[in-house]
A and B are shown apart, each in its own frame.
Chain A
Amino acid sequence: MTITGIVTILMFVLAPYIWFIIAGLVIIVALHFSAYLRGYQITRHHSVIALLLAGLVGLTAYVWIPWLTHSKLDYVATVFDWVALTGAAIAAFIVALIVLHPLSYLISDRRIH
């Protein structure tokens, strides 16, 4: 299959989820902007809780991603299966961290004031 063909099909794959993706991006941007207005800086804020929770999301992704696809971890068998699932789990960890990190700042910030 050509790269063009893959790109075209990926666009069709994403099309039904476009509002979900946009909504997710809006939430993330709003969170970061809201935290930024309260002095949040991504490199200066440290949150063990956010890191742990994001790690939990990433680890449990090995179970819930197969479940979301009507499958189960037992059927993740080939090398490419594991590469793909690990990539998806890392992506889930990153997305969770991007959400939880400013959120933890906002929550702690609110508690202090």
Chain B
Amino acid sequence: MHKPLLLNRRELLKLGTGLGVSSLIPLSAVSANTLQTQAHIVILGGGAAGMAMANRLATRLEGGTITLVEPRETHHYQPGWTLVASGVWQPDKTMRPNAQFVPRGVKWVREYAASIDADNKRISLANGATLNYDYLVVATGIQLNYHLIEGMSPTLVGQHGIGSVYASLDGAIRTNQAIQTWLDHGQGKGIFTAAPTPVKCAGAPMKMTFTTLSRLEASGRRDAFDVEYMAPGTSLFSQPWVNEFVKQRFDEQGVTRRHHYRLSAIDPQAKQAEFTFIGPESEFTSHHQLREAEFRRENQPTVIADYDFIHVVPPMSAHDFIKQSALIAQDGPFRGEWLDVDIYTMQHNRYPDVFGIGDVIGAPINKTAASVKAQAPVVEANLLAVMQGNPLPARHTGYTSCPMITGIGKAMLVEFGYEDNFAFMPSFSFIDPTDESWVTWVMKDRMLQPAYYAVLAGQA
């Protein structure tokens, strides 16, 4: 399926990186130290975060053992799934063999992790084997909890007018088909939902709405279609300026916004969705304290809505085996749901030999690959410091980025961090994060995927 470009690509990248390094980096940076060690480092998860850490640590450690636990053979470029679901990209474009990214010298265990015994520094795998570690990097990503929506299953995506860009690559393909079927019908109601939990790519539900609006407008029959956006909280997006922008744009484009509703059940055969009104006092944004046990509340009013197309965003959390381990947050806003790390140092709050990176961590923002780009150097520096008994030298600013697609062909490059109420942190002074721009769309369409692979290779 994939052209054997590996050798040439690597040669080119080595050349380019070498040129960049030799001409642009001070000598002190070139001579970045390697650490002699006999330690065993286990990296759980081979997504963007895990693979970036494997590559970074492989170049920094000498003599130690690095084990990457990742069962999948194929790496999915998930930021491309919104473009697949919007009919812009071919699905194949989002896949690469994982073997292309696993560095030499790293032991790749193709198995699912089943449990973590943090007190004894031991991991059990699904095949019954165990791994002992000296240091652990948890990069397991996110769990999609479709089961919390009664009647919903990811296998339904693509049928009965149901779409869900998060389900899988196949789900993204079938979401595109479901939208096209709705378009071909020439009329009807589409409902776009959001989850009452932190989600990976928090902009994706809005991107799906905007790209579908583009398709509806291009059909020439926009007035024949009703579009509703059902939000669990008052906000649609954590960054305040973007939040207000999206609300205003939805209003301008004829999207009916309803707040404080979460999707609680679905009847695919009847094409009906049940929404639970969770009350105006509820604000389920990134800071939520929602737990599964609290999720199914009784005595809350519900409404039933007919739809011709519905985009389902499942509630999300850390994987069950993380939730059942001692590594899970035990108090605070992320308790019971997300990995308990210091959001600035990325070190576990109670197990100093454990670090977390990527979607699994309990943090108010940050569930994107762009965050991994900023987190990986921090985890690398701080883990090496811990291995040497030194103070932690690096701090994560909370940097995250969302190329907010506001229509097929245009986007805004939204970059922000923890400080000053998620103030903008633009990488390029000449790109205004509040402007819709063709260049930003081109970056999303053509440049962010290579940048993503550079992060995986530990080179960006």
Q: Does chain A have a CB within 8 A of B170?
A: no
Please indicate the chain B residues that have their CB under 8 angstroms from the CB of A11 in the complex: 12-13, 15-17, 20
> Count of chain A residues with Cβ under 8 Å from any Cβ of B?
31
Instruction: Mark contacts of A2-32 with chain B using CB atoms, 8 A cut-off: 1 yes-contact digit, 0 otherwise.
Output: 1111011111111110110000000000000
Q: Does chain A have a CB within 8 A of B435?
A: yes
A74 to B409, CA, bound (A): 9
Once the chains bind, are B409 and A75 in contact (CB under 8 Å)?
yes
Q: Which of the listed residues B88, B410, B432, B438 has the most CB atoms from chain A within 10 Å of its own CB?
A: B438
Shortest Cβ distance from residue B458 to the other chain A in the assembled complex, whole angstroms: 11
Please indicate the chain A residues that have their CB under 8 angstroms from the CB of B427 in the complex: 1
A58 to B450, CA, bound (A): 27
Once the chains bind, are B454 and A69 in contact (CB under 8 Å)?
no
Once the chains bind, are A13 and B446 in contact (CB under 8 Å)?
yes
**B24 contacts which of A4, A74, A77 (Cβ < 8 Å)?**
A4
Q: Does chain B have a CB within 8 A of A76?
A: yes
Please indicate the chain B residues that have their CB under 8 angstroms from the CB of A76 in the complex: 438
A92 to B160, CA, bound (A): 47
A71 to B24, CA, bound (A): 34
Once the chains bind, are A8 and B454 in contact (CB under 8 Å)?
yes
Majority secondary structure, B binding face: helix
Please indicate the chain B residues that have their CB under 8 angstroms from the CB of A10 in the complex: 16
A85 to B409, CA, bound (A): 14
Please indicate the chain B residues that have their CB under 8 angstroms from the CB of A72 in the complex: 409
Once the chains bind, are B8 and A18 in contact (CB under 8 Å)?
yes
Given contacts A1-B428, A8-B16, A8-B460, contact A71 B451 (CB under 8 A): no
**B17 contacts which of A8, A13, A85 (Cβ < 8 Å)?**
A8
Once the chains bind, are A15 and B5 in contact (CB under 8 Å)?
yes
Given contacts A9-B451, A70-B409, A80-B431, contact A14 B441 (CB under 8 A): no
Once the chains bind, are B439 and A78 in contact (CB under 8 Å)?
yes
Once the chains bind, are B409 and A15 in contact (CB under 8 Å)?
no
Number of A-B contacts (CB under 8 A): 112
Once the chains bind, are B437 and A15 in contact (CB under 8 Å)?
no
Please indicate the chain B residues that have their CB under 8 angstroms from the CB of A75 in the complex: 407, 409-410, 436-438, 441
Once the chains bind, are B21 and A4 in contact (CB under 8 Å)?
yes
Once the chains bind, are A66 and B438 in contact (CB under 8 Å)?
yes
Q: Which of the listed residues A3, A11, A69, A74 has the most CB atoms from chain B within 10 Å of its own CB?
A: A11
Please indicate the chain A residues that have their CB under 8 angstroms from the CB of B13 in the complex: 8, 11-12, 15
Q: Does chain A have a CB within 8 A of B459?
A: yes
Q: Does chain A have a CB within 8 A of B453?
A: yes
Q: Does chain A have a CB within 8 A of B25?
A: yes
Once the chains bind, are A71 and B454 in contact (CB under 8 Å)?
no
A15 to B447, CA, bound (A): 11
Given contacts A8-B20, A18-B8, contact A81 B445 (CB under 8 A): no
Once the chains bind, are A15 and B17 in contact (CB under 8 Å)?
no
A8 to B23, CA, bound (A): 12
Within 8 A of A (CB), among B402-460: 407-410, 427-428, 430-432, 435-439, 441-442, 445-447, 450-451, 453-454, 459-460
Q: Does chain A have a CB within 8 A of B9?
A: yes
Once the chains bind, are A12 and B409 in contact (CB under 8 Å)?
no
> Count of chain B residues with Cβ under 8 Å from any Cβ of A?
39
Q: Does chain A have a CB within 8 A of B305?
A: no
Within 8 A of A (CB), among B1-43: 5, 8-9, 12-13, 15-17, 19-21, 24-25
Within 8 A of B (CB), among A51-91: 66, 69-72, 74-78, 80-81, 84-85
A14 to B453, CA, bound (A): 12
Please indicate the chain B residues that have their CB under 8 angstroms from the CB of A2 in the complex: 24
Once the chains bind, are A7 and B19 in contact (CB under 8 Å)?
yes
Once the chains bind, are B5 and A80 in contact (CB under 8 Å)?
no
Given contacts A4-B25, A11-B12, A70-B88, contact A77 B438 (CB under 8 A): yes
Once the chains bind, are B9 and A70 in contact (CB under 8 Å)?
no
Once the chains bind, are A84 and B17 in contact (CB under 8 Å)?
no
A72 to B88, CA, bound (A): 13
A11 to B8, CA, bound (A): 12
Within 8 A of A (CB), among B185-200: none
Once the chains bind, are A69 and B21 in contact (CB under 8 Å)?
no
Shortest Cβ distance from residue B446 to the other chain A in the assembled complex, whole angstroms: 7
Please indicate the chain A residues that have their CB under 8 angstroms from the CB of B88 in the complex: 70
- A-B CB contact pairs (8 Å), 24 listed: A2-B24, A3-B20, A4-B24, A7-B16, A7-B24, A8-B16, A8-B460, A10-B16, A12-B13, A12-B450, A12-B453, A12-B454, A13-B446, A16-B5, A16-B9, A18-B8, A69-B441, A75-B407, A75-B436, A75-B441, A78-B431, A78-B435, A80-B430, A81-B437
Given A11-B12, A12-B454, A81-B438: 8 more A-B contacts, CB < 8 Å: A7-B20, A8-B20, A10-B16, A13-B451, A15-B12, A15-B450, A77-B435, A84-B442
